[in-house]
Amino acid sequence: MFGLGAPELIIIGIIVLFIFGAKRLPEIGKGLGSAIREFRKVKQDISLNGEKEAVGEKKEEKKSLENELAKKAVEEVPVLKKGLEIKKKAEKVKKILK
């Protein structure tokens, strides 16, 4: 698995445990699992729609699908939501500093 052995995975797990705490790990795991499940559903839908629709698919439809998928991922995974909030705050600070 990506060249990682058991000792490396254990170290990564311990670091994640320290960062997020034992109470948040199940919530994060649940959110990641549902996000991965949603990605797989969308991937299947895209492949099925790609076979059914004409080859010249509109770029706007693709972008709206990607935006919808990103919104769902942010809603499902609390860590992504916090990261997005931090990114927005950082952009505001950059604008103020310019």
Summarize pLDDT for 31-42 with one digit per residue, the tens.
888 888 888 888
Within-domain flag for 11 = yes
What is the number of structural domains in the chain?
1
Q: Compute the Cα dihedral for 42, 45, 46, 47 and give only its sign.
A: positive
Determine, yes or no, domain membership for 52: yes
Report yes or no on 15 lying in a domain: yes
User: Of 4, 9, 72, 68, whose CA–CA distance to 36 is shortest?
Assistant: 72
Q: Which helix (H) or strand (E) holds 90?
A: helix 78-97
The distance in angstroms from the start CA to the end CA of the chain is: 45
User: Is residue 92 included in any domain, yes or no?
Assistant: yes
Whole domain around residue 46: which residue ranges? 6-97
pTM: 0.41
Q: Is residue 42 included in any domain, yes or no?
A: yes
Q: What is the pLDDT of residues 72-83, one digit of tens each?
A: 777 777 777 777
- 1 within some domain: no
